[in-house]
Amino acid sequence: MSRLRLYPQTSVGRKIVVAFTGLGLALFVVFHMVGNLQIFQGARAINGYAAFLRDMPILLWTARAGLLAFVLFHLVLALKLARQNREARPIGYAVRHYRQASLASRTMAVSGVLLLLFIVFHLLHLTAGVIDPSYADKLDVQGQRDVYAKMIHAFQNPLFVSVYLAGQLVLALHLSHAVSSSLQTLGLEHPALNRVFKATGPAVAVMVVVGNTAIVLAVTMGIIR
């Protein structure tokens, strides 16, 4: 037990935990996007989906607690690794030449913090109804919370649209490197599949961002009304 408790304190242990929690969060983002795409099927579909989740409070709150734990572990250990890397080279390079490192890999800490701020905004906005409470308690004709109307209302506001589109850009930047590097950290490498693993991150990022952006733009452009 003591070894298990000390494992996240080692550099290798931290990288493994960051990779594992990162993949878990990426998987949640994919499922979250797929669930929200039901808005294209109409109010009955998306409202029924939301009601299904609320009707299983134990599962819902267990999932939320697990996601919160994943976020905390991922963020804290990732920041510790970033600080550790800086301390390993207290004197910076005289000239920086980025041959292999992409923009996404060089800005993981920054995009991670920005992404956390966006998640907090999203939770306060659409989940808790704190930022815009006007549709927080609105019910549809089935007596279910009208998530459909809430999303329509939100994405008709240019300010909210701008925030969500900017959040998707940050999400794309973070996911594009995070998924591929996590697979590499966990040892999923093979000469015949390295290109596939390297492309997985950008592919997941494009899929998620296109799906989420489609929802926002479809409402803004009046396709969904």
Residue 81 pLDDT exceeds 50: yes
Per-residue pLDDT reduced to its tens digit, 15-31 = 888 888 999 999 999 99
Q: Under DSSP, is residue 149 helix (H, G, I), strand (E, B) or coil? A: helix
- Tell me what pLDDT residue 96 has: 46
**Cα 186 to Cα 56: distance, rounded to the nearest angstrom:** 33
Residue 89 pLDDT exceeds 70: no
Residue 90 pLDDT exceeds 70: no
Tokens 């494009």 correspond to 206
Higher confidence at residue 8 or residue 170?
A: 170
Largest CA distance in the chain: 66
Per-residue pLDDT reduced to its tens digit, 93-148 = 444 444 456 777 788 888 989 999 999 999 999 988 899 998 878 888 888 999 99
Shortest CA distance to 126 belongs to which of 146, 106, 142, 99? 146
- Tell me what pLDDT residue 163 has: 97
For the chain, the average pLDDT equals 85
CATH ID of 10-87+105-220, from 1.20.1300.10, 3.40.350.10, 3.20.20.70, 3.10.110.10: 1.20.1300.10
The DSSP annotation for 70-138 comes to HHHHHHHHHHHHHHHHHHH--SPPSS---SS--HHHHTHHHHHHHHHHHHHHHIIIIIS-SS-GGGTT-
Per-residue pLDDT reduced to its tens digit, 152-173 = 999 999 999 999 999 999 999 9
Residue 201 pLDDT exceeds 60: yes
Higher confidence at residue 36 or residue 88?
A: 36
Tokens 């659409």 correspond to 126
Domain definitions of the chain by residue range? 10-87+105-220
* Helix axes 158-185 and 11-36, enclosed angle (nearest 10): 140
